[in-house]
Amino acid sequence: MKALKKVGLTFIAMLSLGTYAQELDANLQFRPRYEYRNGYKSLMSNGENAASFISQRSRLNFNFKQEKLKLKLTLQNIRTWGDVATTSTADKNGVAVFEAWGQYEFSENWTARLGRQVISYDNQRILGEIDWAQQAQSHDAAVFSFHSKNHQLDLGVALNANTENLLEPKTPYTINYKSMQYVWYHTAFDKINTSFLVLNTGYEFEKTPENLEVDYKQTFGTYIIFKDKKWDADLGLYGQTGKSSDKKVRAWYAGANLGYAFTDTFKISLGYEFLSGKNQDDASPVAKSFSPVFGTNHAFNGLMDYFYVGNHQNSVGLQDAFLKLNYSVKKWQFNLVPHVFNAPNTILDASNKKMDSYLGTEIDFTLGYTVQKDIVFSAGYSQMFASKTLERLKAVADASDTNNWGWVMVSFSPRIFASKQ
């Protein structure tokens, strides 16, 4: 707490020193979440027991503005209730910097932002914040932005190392990507919004004991949104090329949604996603499995995170057909989303025979209630009805009859300080 007090006093001192118009605000977020995991991310085997725990995110956000200058600092602590003793003198995870950036406005249309920051675009399928995860996701990067009335062009670059080295390291950098560059362009035409993305990510690997190399993979594509009075639709198309760990990459993705609002409170949407993969009997060295890279994957392909959330990479791909039912009334929101999963590529059984492509059906139900402006209660229940093919894919010999997941979360987000001068 002493460190947090010092940070706050420093920001207040900045306000008192300048001659320009200045703004400073500070807000807190406390987000405890209870989870019951009985087949979350992977199927439960008979005889295994479910897990229960409470995790918590605690954040302190500072936002500073002075003429053409903007600064943001976000400190956070992520913990599991009980991960340190009640009499502990130190926290297990300590306080981490989630965001720490400075932005300068060169002109009315040009800005540059440097430092630790969230990089999030469109529906967050390729680049997202991953806010569901208590730690979320941010990057050490420089982002240069041009923005006019109906257009925005962002250029981003990043270069990572694990320390201030004097010489080139002998072991590969594996904490994250070694380097990243991207171009994102967005434009609006009446009822249609269109974005184009080209993302280049380089990962370092050990090609030989004496030779470290960086392979670059390119992700490129478009995201289009159409919105009318009651109808809305979106379409995402992306491809991947380049190399990964000395293997050629050739993969692609397609996703679409079509929604209709019957009333101001009730809406139905139909959606489909295709992520390319590779047959299990395909001996080709080419990587054909699409990777969502830095996407907020929890928001796609079922909330139980069976696919692309720290898993299902370099696999058989996925087809996901889903229906979304959304109902809101006063302070309440209700959502029901069934998913039907299929594998677009061959899965083999223990005898190397082709299995049925059907993986399973997942039902996701969530609700939210706004207690007041800065207090939100939410909860959810999900259940997976798995097939024998999914058992094989997840390497579970005999899955239990019930695979479900439930959670309850409260988010407190009060504004604690604001000043203008």
The token pair at 125 is 């399928």
Q: What is the CATH number of domain 2-420?
A: 2.40.160.100
The stretches of 293-362 forming alpha helices (DSSP H) are: none
Q: Where are the domains of the chain?
A: 2-420
283 Ramachandran zone, left/alpha/beta (phi>0; psi -120 to 50): alpha
User: Could you tell me the pTM of the whole model?
Assistant: 0.91
**CA distance linking residue 267 with residue 230, whole number of Å:** 9
86: phi > 0 → left, psi -120 to 50 → alpha, else beta; which? Answer: alpha
First-to-final CA distance of the chain: 27
The whole-angstrom separation of Cα 96 and Cα 79 is 12
The span from the CA of 142 to the CA of 131, in Å, is 21
In Å, what is the CA distance from 377 to each residue of 31, 34, 35, 325, 331? 10, 12, 14, 20, 10
Q: Tell me, what's the pLDDT at 421?
A: 83
Helices (H), 212-292: none
Element (H, E) at 389: helix 388-393
Q: Please name the residues in contact with 159: beta carbons below 8 A apart, sequence gap of 6 or more.
A: 178, 179
Check if the beta carbon of residue 281 is closer than 8 Å to that of residue 352. Answer: yes
Q: pLDDT tens string for the chain (421 positions)?
A: 455 455 555 555 544 545 578 999 999 999 999 999 999 999 998 889 999 999 999 999 999 999 999 999 999 999 999 999 999 989 999 999 999 999 999 999 999 999 999 999 999 999 999 999 999 999 999 999 999 989 999 999 999 999 999 998 989 999 999 999 999 999 998 899 999 999 999 999 998 888 899 999 999 999 999 999 999 999 999 999 999 999 999 999 999 999 999 999 999 999 999 999 999 999 999 999 999 999 999 999 999 999 999 999 999 999 999 999 999 999 999 999 999 999 999 999 999 999 999 999 999 999 999 999 999 999 999 999 999 999 999 998 777 779 999 999 999 999 999 999 8
Nearest to residue 123, comparing CAs of 261, 296, 309?
296
Taking CA atoms, 102 is separated from 13, 79, 143, 154, 286, in Å, by 17, 28, 11, 16, 41
